[in-house]
A and B are shown apart, each in its own frame.
Chain A
């Protein structure tokens, strides 16, 4: 039940991407670049990369608090000279510290299957989520061998679902604190809700593109 709810949540997060991937992809040219290595395995393009900089003191506090720490990753394969991606794939990784067993439980959800592990320490658990090896990027049929492609990565830490944000807006615009029927009576709600403007869609977002380019097999 929990897994299905989690999967639904992941689906909700990724659904808008598949519908309008180009809309959520940050400016490709403005991204910093990082080392990403590619390998063709059978008919699949796979990538190796990492973003360990997602780990900081706040993350340590968050994870050890016993509440889940989640990274939702999206990888866009973009042909040179184009802005719309030719392929999009994603992964969700979650770390939960088991307060009583004192281990880190990780859960990785991809389109190719789910994987659950137990890590003895945070470093190891973080490696599961932030160091990806053999990450399937695309099938060869969507990669035109005549062109070179680069990979763009968007990794969101503890993203808030659009549904949750919508619900928040309801709460803060109508804080249930007045029965007055005047248009201006939402004022306290509006100012209590100003934090919404400071609230990002995630705790942290890491964006980068591959230094290297890859061609079809």
Chain B
């Protein structure tokens, strides 16, 4: 492996998801070990001080619900609370009905409330009761993501720049005006790049169990193309990269529904207009050959209309500090002429993760991804190498921030790849719990991950890339990371060494073909 020293700066990549509210204390659990109560009075017979009325003894009482009373909801509409109650006025109710407990936790699971207590009180006639739901609301404004990072990009004239910053945030109000409807806004910024998202989510469409979402999107984006010896028509001077700019404006609607207790399925339609400012012609050296650069966008105006279906299967014990379980995301996209799309393609992808607990309380996570695109997909729907390696920033709201190629630890043609029609990744992550708590810091894990991935273009299947030997033609690379993950009451903070290493002066050359 040929390595070249590149002087760069050190960067800190900080991915944090934060909530602007405190966690939801529900009960005051008692640590079994800490309950060392003083010696009780001498046991006495229950029968001595129980004026027990021996048989006949009625079973658990049964009541009729006269009213459902919601107390403490200053912002949340009463009907939003009632949605989660499997009872209605006039229903029979037994105090030991398991649905009472379930409804309490279902309400807590919405995230709208800090505490939820259910109780019964006498109604106006014998046998009738009021079901009282006492809630304490919580702040539902959530910072979903906060992106801050450094990347290496290119200037407007295509010259490589060593360092550039990017950032962004995604914020949600998950109980807008107390209606239970969620509003999300997201923004990402980089040099001459902007991405905006606005999303409305109704988790119970018309009181049903369907999730409905409507999203608007706008991107002013650019990208960085070219391996070596880039030539762009109309450019007055040589450049390192072709950096076309494009705009996307559109929206999507989608519906989701639970399938059993562990899965959810989605279907949606996204329509957008794309305006791309592309050079009339551009070329670079790909392998050992001069080839035209494919930007995977139509020049000037084009339309994309894509139908998406997806499924999530999730049995993880905890979404933040997972100890065991399975998490699978699968999706299938189809864009076709009858849908009004200029881009005609199909895209399939599956991401699966299995968390295996070890006897000594550590966890191993096995993760795999496989995806394929058939047809003429726009570049932002293709598989981007930065999404697979830990050494480049992931895309944020479909913006790419970094011009660099994969580090190419295995000296393969991966260094020539930026977008591909096929991608696969296998990764193993070892997690060591460092701390578990229930106050400000909920947990801390050390982790180390290692994996391999590949990103392949269809054209390389049709005609082998030149300048590479048989094995090195396979565009694969390895990736690794190590660091710590902290889950605070205000969010998750992850620190990894790969982001530092990507800016240290150790980086692969431009491939064997150079």
Q: Complex formed: what's the CA distance from A164 to B316 in Å? A: 15
Within 8 Å CB of B254, what residues of A? Answer: 179
Q: Complex formed: what's the CA distance from A103 to B51 in Å? A: 11
Within 8 Å CB of B51, what residues of A? Answer: 119-120, 124
* B52 close to A119 (CB less than 8 A): yes
Q: Complex formed: what's the CA distance from A189 to B19 in Å? A: 11
> In chain A, residues 143-185, which have Cβ atoms closer than 8 Å to a Cβ of chain B?
154, 160, 164, 167-184
Q: Complex formed: what's the CA distance from A173 to B111 in Å? A: 11
* A35 close to B120 (CB less than 8 A): no
The stretch among B161-169, B260-268, B288-296 that forms the contact with chain A is B260-268
* B438 close to A188 (CB less than 8 A): no
A100's partner among B19, B109, B127, B203 (CB-CB below 8 A) is: B127
* A191 close to B318 (CB less than 8 A): no
Within 8 Å CB of B127, what residues of A? Answer: 100
Within 8 Å CB of B61, what residues of A? Answer: 96, 98-101, 105
* B37 close to A65 (CB less than 8 A): no
Within 8 Å CB of A27, what residues of B? Answer: 33
* A190 close to B320 (CB less than 8 A): yes
* B105 close to A164 (CB less than 8 A): yes
* B318 close to A196 (CB less than 8 A): yes
* B96 close to A94 (CB less than 8 A): yes
Chain A CB within 10 A, most for which of B43, B204, B209, B268: B43
- The reply to whether the CB of B237 lies closer than 8 angstroms to some CB of chain A is no
Q: Complex formed: what's the CA distance from A158 to B268 in Å? A: 43
The stretch among B21-29, B227-235, B496-504 that forms the contact with chain A is B21-29
- The reply to whether the CB of A68 lies closer than 8 angstroms to some CB of chain B is yes
B203's partner among A3, A176, A193 (CB-CB below 8 A) is: A176
Q: Which residue of A lies closest to B315 (CB)?
A: A170
Q: Which residue of A lies closest to B26 (CB)?
A: A195
Q: Complex formed: what's the CA distance from A164 to B261 in Å? A: 12
* B50 close to A117 (CB less than 8 A): yes
A177's partner among B101, B182, B438 (CB-CB below 8 A) is: B182
Q: Complex formed: what's the CA distance from A123 to B331 in Å? A: 59
Known A133-B46, A164-B101, A200-B27: A178·B211 in contact at CB below 8 Å: yes
Known A35-B42, A205-B30: A66·B211 in contact at CB below 8 Å: no
A169's partner among B19, B182, B317 (CB-CB below 8 A) is: B317
For the complex formed, measure the closest distance between the CB of B491 and the CB atoms of chain A, giving whole angstroms.
Answer: 7
* B211 close to A200 (CB less than 8 A): no
For the complex formed, measure the closest distance between the CB of B112 and the CB atoms of chain A, giving whole angstroms.
Answer: 8
Within 8 Å CB of B108, what residues of A? Answer: 172, 195
Within 8 Å CB of B31, what residues of A? Answer: 205
For the complex formed, measure the closest distance between the CB of B139 and the CB atoms of chain A, giving whole angstroms.
Answer: 11
- The reply to whether the CB of A30 lies closer than 8 angstroms to some CB of chain B is yes
* B37 close to A128 (CB less than 8 A): no
For the complex formed, measure the closest distance between the CB of A169 and the CB atoms of chain B, giving whole angstroms.
Answer: 6
* A207 close to B266 (CB less than 8 A): no
Known A27-B33, A68-B96, A194-B442: A168·B105 in contact at CB below 8 Å: yes
- The reply to whether the CB of A49 lies closer than 8 angstroms to some CB of chain B is yes
* A3 close to B59 (CB less than 8 A): yes
For the complex formed, measure the closest distance between the CB of A202 and the CB atoms of chain B, giving whole angstroms.
Answer: 8
Within 8 Å CB of A30, what residues of B? Answer: 33
Chain B interface size band reads 35 or more
Known A99-B121, A188-B174, A194-B442: A167·B27 in contact at CB below 8 Å: no
For the complex formed, measure the closest distance between the CB of A114 and the CB atoms of chain B, giving whole angstroms.
Answer: 11
Within 8 Å CB of A107, what residues of B? Answer: 60
* A31 close to B96 (CB less than 8 A): no
* B44 close to A191 (CB less than 8 A): no
- The reply to whether the CB of A204 lies closer than 8 angstroms to some CB of chain B is yes
* A116 close to B111 (CB less than 8 A): no
* B40 close to A34 (CB less than 8 A): yes
Within 8 Å CB of B487, what residues of A? Answer: 194
* A197 close to B442 (CB less than 8 A): yes
- The reply to whether the CB of B144 lies closer than 8 angstroms to some CB of chain A is yes
> In chain B, residues 245-288, which have Cβ atoms closer than 8 Å to a Cβ of chain A?
254-256, 258, 261-262, 264, 266, 268
A67's partner among B110, B118, B255, B317 (CB-CB below 8 A) is: B118
Within 8 Å CB of A26, what residues of B? Answer: 32-33
- The reply to whether the CB of A48 lies closer than 8 angstroms to some CB of chain B is yes
Within 8 Å CB of B25, what residues of A? Answer: 195, 198
* A195 close to B23 (CB less than 8 A): yes
For the complex formed, measure the closest distance between the CB of B365 and the CB atoms of chain A, giving whole angstroms.
Answer: 12
> In chain B, residues 181-219, which have Cβ atoms closer than 8 Å to a Cβ of chain A?
182, 201, 203-204, 209, 211, 213
* B95 close to A96 (CB less than 8 A): yes
For the complex formed, measure the closest distance between the CB of B447 and the CB atoms of chain A, giving whole angstroms.
Answer: 15
- The reply to whether the CB of A208 lies closer than 8 angstroms to some CB of chain B is yes
* A132 close to B43 (CB less than 8 A): yes
Q: Which residue of A lies closest to B439 (CB)?
A: A198
Within 8 Å CB of A164, what residues of B? Answer: 98, 101-102, 105
- The reply to whether the CB of B410 lies closer than 8 angstroms to some CB of chain A is no
Q: Complex formed: what's the CA distance from A6 to B303 in Å? A: 60
Within 8 Å CB of B331, what residues of A? Answer: 181
- The reply to whether the CB of A51 lies closer than 8 angstroms to some CB of chain B is yes
Within 8 Å CB of A187, what residues of B? Answer: 17, 142, 144-145, 319, 492
- The reply to whether the CB of A15 lies closer than 8 angstroms to some CB of chain B is no
* B312 close to A188 (CB less than 8 A): no
- The reply to whether the CB of A14 lies closer than 8 angstroms to some CB of chain B is no
- The reply to whether the CB of A2 lies closer than 8 angstroms to some CB of chain B is yes
Within 8 Å CB of B437, what residues of A? Answer: 197
For the complex formed, measure the closest distance between the CB of A15 and the CB atoms of chain B, giving whole angstroms.
Answer: 17
* B96 close to A96 (CB less than 8 A): yes
- The reply to whether the CB of B36 lies closer than 8 angstroms to some CB of chain A is yes
- The reply to whether the CB of B327 lies closer than 8 angstroms to some CB of chain A is yes
Chain A CB within 10 A, most for which of B30, B39, B41, B50: B50
B44's partner among A68, A117, A133, A201 (CB-CB below 8 A) is: A133
What is the 8 Å Cβ interface bit string for chain A, positions 3-16, against chain B (1 contact, 0 not)?
10110010000000
A105-B60, A119-B50 known, 19 other contacts, Cβ within 8 Å:
A2-B60, A50-B43, A53-B40, A66-B129, A67-B95, A68-B60, A68-B95, A132-B43, A171-B109, A174-B312, A176-B264, A177-B203, A178-B213, A179-B213, A179-B310, A188-B144, A191-B17, A194-B442, A197-B23
Chain A to chain B contacts (Cβ below 8 Å), 15 pairs? A27-B33, A31-B36, A35-B42, A65-B120, A117-B50, A118-B58, A131-B44, A131-B45, A154-B32, A179-B211, A190-B492, A193-B109, A194-B487, A196-B318, A206-B37
Top-4 shortest CB links A-B? A200-B29, A192-B111, A66-B120, A65-B119
